[in-house]
Chain A
């Protein structure tokens, strides 16, 4: 089953193309948020008490989206600037620093996270994709709530506390539900074979192992050799799973050639990774994104 486009596929990156940009004046305090996942979380906490401006368009890539000069100016006027941190928003670093230099309070979600590290042949870094573990998000919610109360004048703290309490409950409920869902996966099928690099926190939290998969290039699928598929087939066999979680432009063709040339019978299922979708796209809120991914993973591995 295909759940609509995966986060990175098929989207138009349009400079400054932030939805809902209006010239209307708004006398509420302004909270500017870099990523749409955090924008959703902040909106849940403050309700209509502040104008929450999310810079990253639905379906965009947090590593590379950019903002218009007008939005950069608004970042510097914000009462609070919320960023993911841990190196996620590379394209915005200069703007975040400019705002900070102007005295705008900046809260980075990554500061509240207990980070995991990635290491490769000749590089390493902290994994910024904390949201795949709801426990980390709970810590971030607490951090954001404190920052909103401290820096955003005019917010009713009782209403903020109530909003925080309610949303905390929903994330905690998500965490319990996810735990129960993932518990259904048998012990010998807990390997997440994927080309996504964002599920490290989720795997740690719910006792899965992420196995990196190299998805054969689209240019090889027209006339594949066994060698093109060998590494993926070996990975799949070693993991003993029947589902690969990957973005492929030609998932049906990939399934077909894996069966034909490598004797491997698998489904290829996309997941939502780094961005919420537009409304109705299957992952238009953080909670819906997590539930959709959980159902896809559990359904694929169980």
Chain B
């Protein structure tokens, strides 16, 4: 909970909690180590495009596509559907809160779609934008895709080839695919994640810091046996390693690494893989094999293993006032837990157990969303209200892939 004080005259609001979205948005997503005006000094580095409309609240949208690459959107404010574009046959998709990155295996390329809704966080205030959706362009690609963006950089990583591509995000916003760097590595279950104007990358046995051009920062390296993905948090970038996590944070001149070891040795099958969180929050979560869920607070630098009654196949840290974690379990339910209370709520089985690999779970400040790949539905779950099924949207095409944008 954030609290605001006007220090010169008197404390504001007389102890009434002032939440982040109110007077001060400072707490909500700008990394404190990142200069507030770092990108603003560069025209176009402000998440800004000519013709974009600025609005008073997040323009949340569910973007989804079928395997043929027909991209559609549901406006979560109005419930209306829209057609966003065609990208051709799709094998894998990732999103970064604004753009979709759709990899097509036979074509050997990846197509970028601007869904047209996004958020820019600027310290004491946040901007919400809407612009026409469009297909931005394509680049050479092979294999699965993982995507992550800072305000200035977008990073894509293929675990199948070990290749990473860094794109100029402002150029993407202007409708141009501009490769800043292409990094070749060996195939591994790694990550490439922007950290402000720099990047955090993995090799098969380490985590390394790169400058904004993709060049290694001398000496900025930490051992990391068998990486299993990485994720941006409000604090920095966190990578899963055999013995715990490596946390990368911004410093005045570069990137610093620190280790967050597991509380005790963890068998390979119970390691945290593929952290997920509500964007801009410090905590991340991941399934812990059959045992339950890992919750890693990157601000407190602490791990917690929370047992669950059923194995979870997805876990996303909502990191709200109850520190809830939202997931999908092996029986096809959307499930909710708190660190102290264990599983506190669950839907009925909603999702086909034989298609759980295709289920994407997106969690925002108020709701969780999943695609039901079998039935062509998109489901909205109020995870703070007993996992109530709040809305069901009929998809225009079978939703093989899903990403929430506008945030």
Pairs across A and B, CB under 8 Å, 22 listed: A8-B54, A14-B50, A64-B54, A91-B43, A117-B7, A118-B26, A120-B2, A122-B32, A195-B21, A210-B23, A211-B13, A212-B4, A212-B19, A214-B19, A214-B21, A219-B364, A220-B390, A223-B390, A231-B19, A247-B56, A248-B56, A248-B57
The answer to whether the Cβ of A278 comes within 8 Å of any Cβ in the partner chain is no
The answer to whether the Cβ of B353 comes within 8 Å of any Cβ in the partner chain is no
Q: Are B18 and A212 in contact (CB under 8 A)?
A: yes
Q: How far is the CB of B9 from chain A (nearest CB, A)?
A: 5
The answer to whether the Cβ of A87 comes within 8 Å of any Cβ in the partner chain is yes
Q: Are B42 and A94 in contact (CB under 8 A)?
A: yes
Most interface-central of A197, A227, A235, A247 (chain B CB within 10 A): A197
C-alpha spacing A267/B12, complex, angstroms: 23
The answer to whether the Cβ of B20 comes within 8 Å of any Cβ in the partner chain is yes
Q: Which residues of B contact A249 (CB under 8 A)?
A: 55-57, 77
Q: Which residues of A contact B124 (CB under 8 A)?
A: 118, 120, 123, 125, 197
Interface residues on B, range: 35 or more
Q: Are B46 and A64 in contact (CB under 8 A)?
A: yes
Q: How far is the CB of A100 from chain B (nearest CB, A)?
A: 14
The answer to whether the Cβ of A66 comes within 8 Å of any Cβ in the partner chain is yes
Q: Which residues of B contact A115 (CB under 8 A)?
A: 8
Interface contact tally, CB-CB below 8 A: 203
Q: How far is the CB of A123 from chain B (nearest CB, A)?
A: 4
Contact of B53 among A12, A64, A226, A231 (CB under 8 A): A12
Q: Are B53 and A212 in contact (CB under 8 A)?
A: no
Contact of B60 among A197, A215, A217, A228 (CB under 8 A): A217
C-alpha spacing A200/B37, complex, angstroms: 22
Q: Which of A187-226 contact B (CB under 8 A)?
A: 194-197, 200, 203-204, 209-220, 222-223, 225-226
Q: Is the interface of B mostly helix, strand, loop or mixed?
A: loop
Interface size on A, residues (CB 8 A): 64
Q: Are A66 and B22 in contact (CB under 8 A)?
A: no
A-facing mask of B1-39, CB < 8 A → 1, else 0? 011111111101110101111111111001010001100
The answer to whether the Cβ of A23 comes within 8 Å of any Cβ in the partner chain is no
Q: Are A209 and B12 in contact (CB under 8 A)?
A: yes
Q: How far is the CB of B114 from chain A (nearest CB, A)?
A: 16
Q: Are B4 and A118 in contact (CB under 8 A)?
A: yes
Kindly report which residue of chain B lies nearest to residue A90, judged by CB atoms: B40
Among B86-94, B186-194, B241-249, B377-385, the one that faces the other chain is: B377-385
Q: Which residues of A contact B4 (CB under 8 A)?
A: 118-120, 212
The answer to whether the Cβ of B352 comes within 8 Å of any Cβ in the partner chain is no
Q: Are B366 and A217 in contact (CB under 8 A)?
A: yes
Q: Which residues of B contact A90 (CB under 8 A)?
A: 36-37, 40-41, 46, 122
A-facing mask of B76-87, CB < 8 A → 1, else 0? 110100000000
Kindly report which residue of chain B lies nearest to residue A95, judged by CB atoms: B43
Q: Is the interface of A mostly helix, strand, loop or mixed?
A: loop
The answer to whether the Cβ of B106 comes within 8 Å of any Cβ in the partner chain is no
From known contacts A8-B54, A11-B53, infer whether A222 and B79 are also in contact, taking CB-CB under 8 Å: yes
Could you tell me which A residues sit within 8 Å of B by CB distance? 6, 8-15, 61, 63-64, 66, 87, 90-91, 93-94, 114-125, 127, 194-197, 200, 203-204, 209-220, 222-223, 225-228, 231, 235, 238-239, 247-250
The 9 closest A-B pairs by CB, nearest first: A212-B22, A212-B18, A247-B56, A225-B385, A90-B40, A123-B26, A219-B76, A218-B77, A120-B26
Q: Which residues of B contact A228 (CB under 8 A)?
A: 366, 382, 385
Q: Which residues of B contact A218 (CB under 8 A)?
A: 57-58, 60, 76-77
Q: Are B382 and A212 in contact (CB under 8 A)?
A: no
From known contacts A93-B37, A121-B20, infer whether A200 and B77 are also in contact, taking CB-CB under 8 Å: no
Q: How far is the CB of B253 from chain A (nearest CB, A)?
A: 20
Q: Are A10 and B22 in contact (CB under 8 A)?
A: no
C-alpha spacing A65/B157, complex, angstroms: 33
Q: Are A223 and B391 in contact (CB under 8 A)?
A: yes
Q: Are A61 and B54 in contact (CB under 8 A)?
A: yes
C-alpha spacing A145/B198, complex, angstroms: 45
Most interface-central of A9, A213, A219 (chain B CB within 10 A): A219
A-facing mask of B304-348, CB < 8 A → 1, else 0? 000000000000000000000000000000000000000000000
Q: Which residues of A contact B6 (CB under 8 A)?
A: 116-119, 127, 200, 204
C-alpha spacing A200/B385, complex, angstroms: 34
Q: Are A211 and B50 in contact (CB under 8 A)?
A: no
From known contacts A90-B46, A204-B6, infer whether A13 and B20 are also in contact, taking CB-CB under 8 Å: no
Contact of B55 among A10, A119, A194, A217 (CB under 8 A): A10
Kindly report which residue of chain B lies nearest to residue A61, judged by CB atoms: B54
The answer to whether the Cβ of B51 comes within 8 Å of any Cβ in the partner chain is yes
Q: How far is the CB of B356 from chain A (nearest CB, A)?
A: 25
Q: Which residues of A contact B30 (CB under 8 A)?
A: 123
Q: Which residues of A contact B50 (CB under 8 A)?
A: 13-15
Q: How far is the CB of A127 from chain B (nearest CB, A)?
A: 8
The answer to whether the Cβ of B125 comes within 8 Å of any Cβ in the partner chain is yes
C-alpha spacing A220/B57, complex, angstroms: 12
